[in-house]
Structure 1
Amino acid sequence: MIQIRCMAVDDEPIALEKLESYIRRIPFLELVALCDSPMEAVQVMMERRVDALFVDINMPDLNGMEMVSSLPDPPMVVFTTAHTEYAVESYRFPAVDYLLKPFDFTNFQRAAGRLLKLAKVSNSMATTSDEDYLLAKDGYKYVNIRIAGILYIRGMRDYVKIHTEEKKPVIVSTSMSQIKEKLPPCFLQVHRSWIVNIRKVKEIERMRIVIGEERIPVGDSYRQQLMEFLRLHSLDK
């Protein structure tokens, strides 16, 4: 199981205790440290590996967003705040999620689930084998499709069209959700009708993904996930 090493940062003791309690209830979260100031948190991150931050925005001296912006290689971030204006402002940052205080365990689980999803994507970049195949029914025959050779998948009304490097598209009678379950996490759904192999992306410009000659749109509800993935894997951080 993937373990996400996380740290909670909040200047309010009660809020910090709640974060500690919630983190310890999630099996895939490993608590590295609890910090009551951003400066202490920065020092901890210089000494220990931290995969994810649960950080309050409104803190004295240095607020949560300023702290994250100052990090040369920031981890995944979940902002917490009691102020709605900060919650709106936090959307400008490539955060995984934000939690508006007072939040309950259900809200926390949602944010933790998003962290896990992104961690799986990151982990899959190094673990997907070129020898993995997807068995698909194409018309009256079954074909083996090399997963590493898939460029992108387009969902139509009653079927999906799998575009690969090796041959013409394979048409399969299935749904986007069903085929997505069979693919490794390096395949990102970026639109209700499109799944892309992130390893085959040539460029991304103005929320259009270029793979080969195809320009694939990014749906509004998928933008945050894509932006967080880019933040985690971009050389320009």
Structure 2
Amino acid sequence: MKYRCLIADDEPPARKLLSDYVSKIGNLELAGVCSNGVEVVEFLSENTVDILLLDIRMPLMTGMEILNDLPERPLTILVTAYEEYALKGYELDVIDYLMKPVPFERFQKAIDKAIEYLAVQVAADDNSEKPDYFFIKTDTRIVKFMFAEVSAIEAQREYIKIIAGSRKVMSLVSLTSIANVLPPDFVRIHRSYIINMRHIDEVQSNEVVIGKEIYPISRNYREVFFEKLGDRKLL
């Protein structure tokens, strides 16, 4: 399977380097090249891509402005010379953050990570009978969880923390990556939190209480959460 890729960078040498890298990866197809933020938005309004290789400091619109404005974001890898945007990038659920100049081996690793995630999405969509458990990779182990036992998942920079009773496991995965393969009982209530509705003890104004933990409901996710909550109310 070929995955379509869009390059967005205002520097010609960077565009050429990334184009050369893309051509070396057999299951990657270059869908287009953009030199400023407006071109990116216009291209994505008319075309679908799987992976966006996005610079941050570009004319007309920055990479961050693009990610904030896009209603549907492709899986994004930030490629930049500025390390200070790393935290903000992970808050916007980018799959990886590459520092210029990017060695091919590091580029390959980021693409492999993105394609692995895309393959998981396809498998999840194709599977009519989904298992009631999942495996998550830590630094040294692969840990099994039952979906039903997980009460919440928290974003912690480029990591997530999965909370299941007394078990708390960290994994190098973005919150959006795992959100897309979770069953319907899970709902995102904040850019940093996903909760399992089966574990909710109380909802207090703009907060969800699960045991001794209190999770904030942000404005961006409030409507979807309360719609789901309303569907499950008895009276």
- TM-score norm. by structure 1 comes to 0.65
Shift of 1:232: 4.7
Shift of 1:209: 4.7
- RMSD over aligned CA atoms reads 2.7
Instruction: State the secondary structure of the residue aligned to 1:49.
Output: coil
**Residues 19-40 of structure 1: CA deviation (Å, up to 9, x unaligned):** 1111111111111110001111
**Residues 174-220 of structure 1: CA deviation (Å, up to 9, x unaligned):** xxxxxxxxxxxxx441543523466x68753444355xxx675331x
Percent identity, aligned pairs only?
30
What does 1:142-161 align with in structure 2 at a 5 Å threshold? 148-149=130-131, 151-152=132-133
Letter in 2 for 1:195: K
Q: Structure 1's 126 and 108: CA in aligned 2 closer, same or farther, altered over 3 A?
A: same
**Residues 89-125 of structure 1: CA deviation (Å, up to 9, x unaligned):** 4233311111100111111101101111101110111
**Residues 65-107 of structure 1: CA deviation (Å, up to 9, x unaligned):** 1111110111100001112223354233311111100111111
CA distance in 2, matches of 1:228, 1:114: 14
- The residue number in structure 2 matching 1:36 is 35
Aligned length: 177
- The residue number in structure 2 matching 1:228 is 176
Residue of 128, 133, 143 corresponding to 1:194? 143
Letter in 2 for 1:7: L
1:218 and 2:169 equivalent? Answer: yes
CA distance in 2, matches of 1:91, 1:68: 11
- The residue number in structure 2 matching 1:208 is 162
CA distance in 1, matches of 2:23, 2:63: 22
Q: Structure 1's 17 and 201: CA in aligned 2 closer, same or farther, altered over 3 A?
A: farther
Q: Structure 1's 11 and 188: CA in aligned 2 closer, same or farther, altered over 3 A?
A: farther
Q: Structure 1's 203 and 22: CA in aligned 2 closer, same or farther, altered over 3 A?
A: same
Deviates more, 1:189-198 or 1:32-41: 189-198
**Residues 124-172 of structure 1: CA deviation (Å, up to 9, x unaligned):** 1122364xxxxxxxxxxxxxxxxx44x33xxxxxxxxxxxxxxxxxxxx
Unaligned residue ranges in structure 2 (runs of 5+): 155-160, 182-186, 189-220, 225-235
CA distance in 2, matches of 1:20, 1:232: 29
Letter in 2 for 1:194: V
Instruction: State the secondary structure of the residue aligned to 1:225.
Output: coil
